[in-house]
Chains A and B, each alone.
Chain A
């Protein structure tokens, strides 16, 4: 079974600065997808960014980018020019691209609470 680990329960950053959130995962599969989700105090889960394992190029969405290291099974999220609205819980997630019904499962890490200081 796949596992996702976020080793930073809490992180903080000054407004306009850059912060990196860490995520590692364990899998024996070669084809899969990785995601970062944001959960603000409203509780709504919001997809931030998506990475395909077979693509070496790191995904980027505006101020959000990832550092995907497939061999190390590492998938970190970098937030540039942090804004007060970035304050939230961030979850890393794994989705298999494989057979059976396993591709229906999205496995989450424990989450990292990000605080943004003005």
Chain B
């Protein structure tokens, strides 16, 4: 198993550009999430999904869109990048309610 795969690992965007961060898992996990990590603020939940076709907003959803058309994939779309979205982004997946999440290796995004 490859686990949770995030691409790209690094990205530089100009303000106003759009892009999609890719996340795929091969463990047949129902639950998937996107987090952003900023210094001194821990990991904050952006969006999450409890199954294909079901998504919900987390703590900091503004400026981001998600969809979950398959169990394996959970892409995160930045609609119009802003410098405030400079961060490290983590995708994670989980098998059941009681298990912890398995994390991808992260994407470092810089918006200039």
Residues of A within 8 A of B (CB): 33, 35, 37, 43-45, 47, 50, 52, 91, 93, 95, 97, 101, 103-111
B contacts with A, residue count (CB < 8 A): 28
26 A-B contacts (beta carbon < 8 Å): A35-B100, A43-B88, A43-B106, A44-B103, A44-B105, A44-B106, A47-B101, A50-B99, A52-B98, A95-B98, A97-B98, A101-B54, A101-B56, A103-B50, A104-B31, A104-B48, A104-B50, A104-B94, A105-B33, A105-B58, A106-B45, A106-B92, A108-B35, A108-B43, A109-B42, A110-B42
B98 (CB) vs chain A CBs: closest residue: A33
Chain B interface secondary structure, helix, strand, loop or mixed? strand
Q: Is B40 an interface residue (CB 8 A)?
A: yes
How far, in angstroms, from A44 to B94 measured CA to CA in the complex?
Answer: 16
Residues of B within 8 A of A44 (CB): 103, 105-106
Q: Is B12 an interface residue (CB 8 A)?
A: no
Residues of B within 8 A of A (CB): 31, 33, 35, 40-45, 48-50, 54, 56, 58, 88, 90, 92, 94, 97-103, 105-106
Docked-complex contact A104 and B103, CB < 8 angstroms: no
Evaluate whether A95 and B103 lie within 8 angstroms (CB atoms) in the complex, with A104-B56, A105-B48, A110-B41 already known.
Answer: no
Residues of B within 8 A of A106 (CB): 33, 45, 92, 94, 100-101
B44 (CB) vs chain A CBs: closest residue: A108
B41 (CB) vs chain A CBs: closest residue: A110
